[in-house]
Structure 1
Amino acid sequence: MENATSQGARWSLAPKYWRPIADILAALLTLTAIGWALSLHRQFGLGLYPQQYFAAIMLFVLPIAFLTLPMQRGTTRESVPAYDLLFAVLSVGAVGFIAHQYPVLVLKIFSRPPEVWVPGLIVILLTLEALRRATGWALIIIIAVFILYGLFGDVVPGRLQGRVQSWDMLTGYIALDSNGILGLPMSVAATVVVSFILFGTLLNLTGGAAFFTDAAMVAMGRFRGGAMKIAVLASGLFGSISGSAVANVVGTGVVTIPMIKRDGYPAHKAAAIEAVASTGGQLMPPVMGAAAFLMAEFLAIPYSEVVLAALVPALLYYVALFIQADLEAARLGIKAIPKDEIPRPRSVLGGMHFMLAFAVLIYLLFWKGFQPERAALWAAAMLIFTSLVLGYRGLRPGVGKLVAALAQTGHGVVEILLISAASGVVIAVLNISGLSFNLTYLLVQIGGGSVILLLALSALVCIILGMGLPTLGVYVLLAALVAPALVQLGIEPIAAHLYVLYFGMMSMITPPIALAAFSAAAIARAPAMATGWAAMRFGWSAYIIPFLFVFSPTLILIGAPQEIALAVITAVIGVWLISAALAGYFSTQLSIFSRGLFALAGMMALLPSGLFPGAVITDIVGVALGAVFMWRDVRLGRIMSATTCH
């Protein structure tokens, strides 16, 4: 122990002590999750409630948070002050007591004895404080509003009036019930998410992330605007695994953004391209983000069904972004990357073994029906094996690196687990107070039975709630508050959940609080708001496509095969035309009038054939007009080129 008066505490723990402790706890967290996923507890004859396992995970999460996260966000930590040591020890005691005594305590929630509400209150307060340090005040304020509603919901007038609860009963319910902190969000985060984060961490440590960037450079570096296309491809691949838009921006943006700027692209647009590409990674199968796994649990369907439903919208998202990157490069005259900066294909081929891990993952998920966490662990095992045997560019991970991956994974999931625990607080209040039913009824009443009005209102609520919040937290709120109202009006449940996920995710690139766009702007040293507005333009498809698949589920692969095929083909053409209109360029610079024509034809082609009676005709007319406009512009470009040559 050493003196640390600068932190306002008499005693503090030096880095040489607290860092190893935090790493050991993080590694134990990961190992515990692996053991649970492989059902090792059953091999030893232990019959445990799932909530006991979730509590055990929180037993690691809270001490790690108080050891590593300083009281003031944005500051760095050297020594750990005495009050954080106290919080860490207190959290271990309270959560450990709940985990050990859970079978007895869960039966006493409604009788409210001190042995239920005292540790419950400690866990709730410490969880919220740890969450504040990890994510800021936004989510804390929202959760505080819900808790106040649970305590005083009877004073709220009208349809939102709730069933009031005593503070000690509400405390026990939130902390111990399977609808609270130890509920559904935690069950997904503590099993599936930990396994996939481990897979992503191993991929990064074994050179897999570098392989995907190199492969993107080989595939796209020789084309105009190659740096932008590399950013789109690499960020989409990496983002599918990371599940965090901001983490993806930081992980790939430090490489791609300077590369794009060096090509002559404006800084704010370089940052916007990266932000949009990174954000979309959470929608890109086969892995997607943590919210997709939670969606499968909410809907009680296999994860593979969520992946299939998300496939076409995600492809349209990236097709739109890729086409805009290409046309912007043509408009600005940006050339390919210099050949000496592109890796040799032969050197990149040495990393093809990384694809075996993905093949194992997809095979186990879709053909063998494995639970996602088990499939991820088998894929991770394949990744370790091929990396040790083959390596990448002569580098093979040592045992030390593989062991370090356990601690790195544990540290990497702390924030997600805290958000999941906090989401459980919201779900608990929604259930016990009746707010979930009341809010669904109110939204349907406000919508007046109009699906379009309710969708527009829901999109606005999604973006507002999402501002400043991580995607997982946003989705849990929206899935509980908004999605039921959409389903009530006859919308397909999976379409409703994908809808709120899309619009909650778009808050990452929608000003005034666009975390992914602003993070990219900081790397590019570009104006934050200019980056946000540019990101909205590049990500335009995500504001439109959700409306389309809600009204016509063919875009989420629900319907007859011929209808799905027609919807996908015409949607791709529509996206191409609208992207050209937004870029202001196709084969030549487009006038305002020509841009309007391209946009009109694109919107007609983008409308799915099942949207309304006769929509097939709209599709055919849109595609035909688009073909005429494209041919006319290409012909004009050839004439201009011939004139210039002469």
Structure 2
Amino acid sequence: MSNHAPVRETDVLEHQALAMIRTLLGSLIALAAIAYASDLFSRLGLAIYTEQYLAVVLGSSLALVFLKPRANLTRRRIDALVAVIAFIAGCYLAIQYPVLVEHQLDMPPAALVLSGLFFVLVLEGLRRVVGITLVLVVLGFLAFALLGHHLSGPLQTRQVELDRLLVYVGIDTNGMLGLTLSVAATIVIGFVLFGQLLLRSGGADFFNDLALALMGRSRGGSGKIATIASALFGSISGVVVSNIVATGVVTIRMMKQGGFKPETAAAIETVASTGGQIMPPVMGAVAFLMAEFLQISYAEVVLAALVPALLYYAALFIQVDLEAAKEEIKKIDPALIPPQKQVLSQGWIFVIPFAAVIGALFFFNMRPETAALWGALGALIVGITRGYKGKRMHLRELRDALAETGHSIVDIIMIGAAAGFIIGILNVTGLGFGLTYALVQLGNGNLFLLLLISAAVCIVLGMGMPTVGVYLLLAVLVAPSLVQVGVEPIAAHLFIFYMGMMSMITPPIAIGAFFAASIAKADPIKTAFTAMRLGWTAYIVPFLFVTTPALLLIGDPLSITVAVASALLGVWAISVAFVGYFGQRLVIGGRLAFALAGGLLLFPMSSGDIGLTLLLRATALLIVVSLVLVGRSTRQRLAAQTK
């Protein structure tokens, strides 16, 4: 027995040391981001390249990936050695970057070694955080870059030697240290820090209480509470799974106690949390990335995303309400519902962090990462000075927020660096143009077919990845082909964003649905399919706003008003058909009639044939009115019979 005691004590010490190092690395990433966003380096008289900052963040993130606890002692120590190498390589690249980039075309040995080392480390880090799929995608592009010059046709590439290719993707600003890693290491980190501080300052409790106060007394109140709370939380957090875990432990239990089936409760949480990514104004930081890609203002992105988000949550609310009526879900115990006045009086101060972000963006025209920093400062001040319900933030929580920010961003940093490899390969080989042309040709000039193909690609590539990472990848691979055939650039980017996001609830991966199912102790496959039904608008509406830009608030006021009103009514009708309840349970004929009316209302508006559009809308309205009148008459007759 005594012979084993020292081993156990050594293991404990190693685990403690590992936890401390991980905390330091996570905090280093967050503090570096704060220094960069606040222009601290220039204020101190230090002129540094953005790429030097990115190299430090990448090296630290790689070290965090490899410094995860392992039971096997040998593998743990090998990982520790690799983590040290990654961190030193990041620091060395940061220090030597000005020299290396100046002599990049001469391919100095240091540039080749560093590029090759980072290529291997990033791919292994990527495999550990999101699985093998994206690694195979990157390796597939690498193979194509080396062999593509042997092909003929649109996918033929320029011949590039392996050493030249590695140096380009590793050192050049069009590669690993390019746009995708830059937005992940600046904008995304800033908003993750903002979210962490906001939640630790009492924001999460305030959001839950606000949702409870607003919806607790309504039919299916527990489901509506989950929808509001998860939407608010998800818009800030930017990470679907962490949102599901953070809010689901409360909301899913509440819904099950209220009478929702476990699969339904888990599905509601999944769809609400996933939709937080498309909820303006923050949109999980994707709005800022989209503005960067499209070179438009943040306000334009938010306005365009407003109606699709409204349709998404309208469908979820309608289905939750009808499901509650259909299954006779009981209301929340009034004793558990806090008074609205009390909640608002204790939590109104949380307006300050959001006002700081919006004011910095719109009135002072600050960079998104700097605006996020002001929001984080506002959340910190609120948490330390007041908090929520008298619970104030302690300095220990500030330390935890910094560390957790670094830990939370690692997955996206790996994806951003890998997407940089793909961008570099596309640029240096000319494959980017050929891939866009091939995808357009595959669509055979048919926009709907091209959209279907693109949607499938988005869902498959997005499986298992954080939403921000999904968008970064798809903005490079899929969006250009849609723009090429005449789709509005903002519509193309929102399309890929929606479709990539839905990988969270689409089987076979459906990682968001599976996490929620584990909390609800529900069948994961049933949960995923229920979530697909509740979130059906996210599969349909992107096709609509591509063909009907009025849904993105593009066009004249009359067209926008008609399009939005028709879409809302169509979403209501199809949601009724899905649930199968309208005052009473519907037979199959009634459900089909509602589905037909909804489909006609959602049919894309054609500027070339106004007469057809008006005919479809009029027919749909006639069907809806008839269904409402028949339903009312039936309920009155049944009520009379029971008297």
State the TM bucket, normalised to the shorter chain: over 0.9
Structure 1 gap segments, 5+ residues each: 71-75
Per-residue deviation, 1:236: 0.9
User: Following the alignment from structure 1 to structure 2, what is the Cα–Cα distance between the partners of residues 595 and 5?
Assistant: 69
User: Is 1:622 the equivalent of 2:641?
Assistant: no
User: Following the alignment from structure 1 to structure 2, what is the Cα–Cα distance between the partners of residues 69 and 560?
Assistant: 58
SS in 1 for 2:347: coil
User: Following the alignment from structure 1 to structure 2, what is the Cα–Cα distance between the partners of residues 354 and 531?
Assistant: 34
Per-residue deviation, 1:513: 1.5
2:130 alignment partner in structure 1: 135
1:176 alignment partner in structure 2: 171
Structure 1 contact 18–80 (Cα < 8 Å) conserved: no
Tell me the amino acid that sits aligned with residue 569 of structure 2: I
Structure 1 range deviating more: 273-282 or 634-643: 634-643
1:450-529 paired onto structure 2 within 5 Å:
450-529=446-525
2:336 alignment partner in structure 1: 341
User: Following the alignment from structure 2 to structure 1, what is the Cα–Cα distance between the partners of residues 558 and 595?
Assistant: 26
SS in 2 for 1:105: helix
Per-residue deviation, 1:217: 1.0
Per-residue deviation, 1:116: 0.7
2:31 alignment partner in structure 1: 31
User: Following the alignment from structure 1 to structure 2, what is the Cα–Cα distance between the partners of residues 403 and 158?
Assistant: 56
Per-residue deviation, 1:612: 4.9
Tell me the amino acid that sits aligned with residue 32 of structure 2: T
User: Following the alignment from structure 1 to structure 2, what is the Cα–Cα distance between the partners of residues 494 and 4?
Assistant: 62
Structure 2 contact 60–86 (Cα < 8 Å) conserved: no
User: Following the alignment from structure 2 to structure 1, what is the Cα–Cα distance between the partners of residues 510 and 367?
Assistant: 34
The change in CA–CA distance for 1:77 and 1:240 in structure 2 (over 3 A counts) is: farther
User: Following the alignment from structure 2 to structure 1, what is the Cα–Cα distance between the partners of residues 618 and 5?
Assistant: 73
Residue deviations 1:3-57 (CA, integer Å, cap 9, x gap) = 99999xx999712222222212211211111111111111112222111111121
SS in 2 for 1:351: helix
SS in 2 for 1:194: helix
1:198-597 paired onto structure 2 within 5 Å:
198-349=193-344, 350-597=346-593
1:73 alignment partner in structure 2: none
Per-residue deviation, 1:559: 0.6
User: Following the alignment from structure 1 to structure 2, what is the Cα–Cα distance between the partners of residues 258 and 11?
Assistant: 37
Structure 1 contact 14–79 (Cα < 8 Å) conserved: no
CA RMSD of aligned residues (A): 2.3
User: Following the alignment from structure 1 to structure 2, what is the Cα–Cα distance between the partners of residues 5 and 610?
Assistant: 77
Structure 2 gap segments, 5+ residues each: none
Per-residue deviation, 1:92: 2.1
The change in CA–CA distance for 1:510 and 1:249 in structure 2 (over 3 A counts) is: same
Structure 1 range deviating more: 524-533 or 548-557: 524-533
Tell me the amino acid that sits aligned with residue 538 of structure 2: A
User: Is 1:634 the equivalent of 2:632?
Assistant: yes
Tell me the amino acid that sits aligned with residue 591 of structure 1: V
The change in CA–CA distance for 1:13 and 1:433 in structure 2 (over 3 A counts) is: farther
Per-residue deviation, 1:314: 0.8
The change in CA–CA distance for 1:104 and 1:4 in structure 2 (over 3 A counts) is: farther
Residue deviations 1:174-202 (CA, integer Å, cap 9, x gap) = 11111111111111111111111011101
Per-residue deviation, 1:85: 2.1
2:57 alignment partner in structure 1: 57
Structure 1 contact 186–420 (Cα < 8 Å) conserved: yes
Structure 1 range deviating more: 403-412 or 510-519: 403-412
SS in 2 for 1:57: helix
Per-residue deviation, 1:444: 1.4
Structure 1 contact 467–508 (Cα < 8 Å) conserved: yes
2:108 alignment partner in structure 1: 113
Tell me the amino acid that sits aligned with residue 468 of structure 2: L
Tell me the amino acid that sits aligned with residue 220 of structure 1: M
Per-residue deviation, 1:157: 5.2
User: Following the alignment from structure 1 to structure 2, what is the Cα–Cα distance between the partners of residues 254 and 111?
Assistant: 56
User: Following the alignment from structure 1 to structure 2, what is the Cα–Cα distance between the partners of residues 62 and 341?
Assistant: 45
Per-residue deviation, 1:369: 2.8
Tell me the amino acid that sits aligned with residue 618 of structure 1: L
The change in CA–CA distance for 1:271 and 1:559 in structure 2 (over 3 A counts) is: same
User: Following the alignment from structure 1 to structure 2, what is the Cα–Cα distance between the partners of residues 624 and 388?
Assistant: 58
Structure 2 contact 360–371 (Cα < 8 Å) conserved: yes
User: Following the alignment from structure 1 to structure 2, what is the Cα–Cα distance between the partners of residues 546 and 5?
Assistant: 61
User: Following the alignment from structure 1 to structure 2, what is the Cα–Cα distance between the partners of residues 192 and 340?
Assistant: 42
Residue deviations 1:329-382 (CA, integer Å, cap 9, x gap) = 100111211112223334422112112222332233234432211222112222
Structure 1 contact 138–469 (Cα < 8 Å) conserved: no
Structure 1 contact 602–623 (Cα < 8 Å) conserved: no
User: Following the alignment from structure 1 to structure 2, what is the Cα–Cα distance between the partners of residues 590 and 127?
Assistant: 54
SS in 1 for 2:154: helix
Per-residue deviation, 1:606: 2.4
User: Following the alignment from structure 1 to structure 2, what is the Cα–Cα distance between the partners of residues 559 and 196?
Assistant: 32
Structure 1 range deviating more: 265-274 or 617-626: 617-626
State the TM-score, normalized to the length of structure 1. 0.94
SS in 2 for 1:14: helix
User: Following the alignment from structure 1 to structure 2, what is the Cα–Cα distance between the partners of residues 559 and 194?
Assistant: 35
1:45 alignment partner in structure 2: 45
Per-residue deviation, 1:122: 1.3
Per-residue deviation, 1:631: 3.5
User: Following the alignment from structure 1 to structure 2, what is the Cα–Cα distance between the partners of residues 32 and 469?
Assistant: 25
The change in CA–CA distance for 1:611 and 1:604 in structure 2 (over 3 A counts) is: farther
User: Following the alignment from structure 2 to structure 1, what is the Cα–Cα distance between the partners of residues 103 and 434?
Assistant: 28
User: Following the alignment from structure 2 to structure 1, what is the Cα–Cα distance between the partners of residues 485 and 601?
Assistant: 27
The change in CA–CA distance for 1:4 and 1:41 in structure 2 (over 3 A counts) is: farther
State the TM-score, normalized to the length of structure 2. 0.94
Residue deviations 1:239-280 (CA, integer Å, cap 9, x gap) = 101112222211111111122122222211211111111111
User: Following the alignment from structure 1 to structure 2, what is the Cα–Cα distance between the partners of residues 460 and 300?
Assistant: 27
Per-residue deviation, 1:162: 2.0
The change in CA–CA distance for 1:77 and 1:325 in structure 2 (over 3 A counts) is: farther
The change in CA–CA distance for 1:151 and 1:506 in structure 2 (over 3 A counts) is: same
Structure 1 contact 221–337 (Cα < 8 Å) conserved: yes
User: Following the alignment from structure 2 to structure 1, what is the Cα–Cα distance between the partners of residues 420 and 4?
Assistant: 39
Residue deviations 1:504-533 (CA, integer Å, cap 9, x gap) = 111111111111111111111211211111
Per-residue deviation, 1:118: 0.5
Structure 2 contact 205–388 (Cα < 8 Å) conserved: no
Tell me the amino acid that sits aligned with residue 178 of structure 2: G
Structure 1 range deviating more: 422-431 or 632-641: 632-641
User: Following the alignment from structure 1 to structure 2, what is the Cα–Cα distance between the partners of residues 140 and 541?
Assistant: 31
The change in CA–CA distance for 1:135 and 1:393 in structure 2 (over 3 A counts) is: same
The change in CA–CA distance for 1:33 and 1:78 in structure 2 (over 3 A counts) is: farther
Tell me the amino acid that sits aligned with residue 16 of structure 2: K
SS in 2 for 1:507: helix
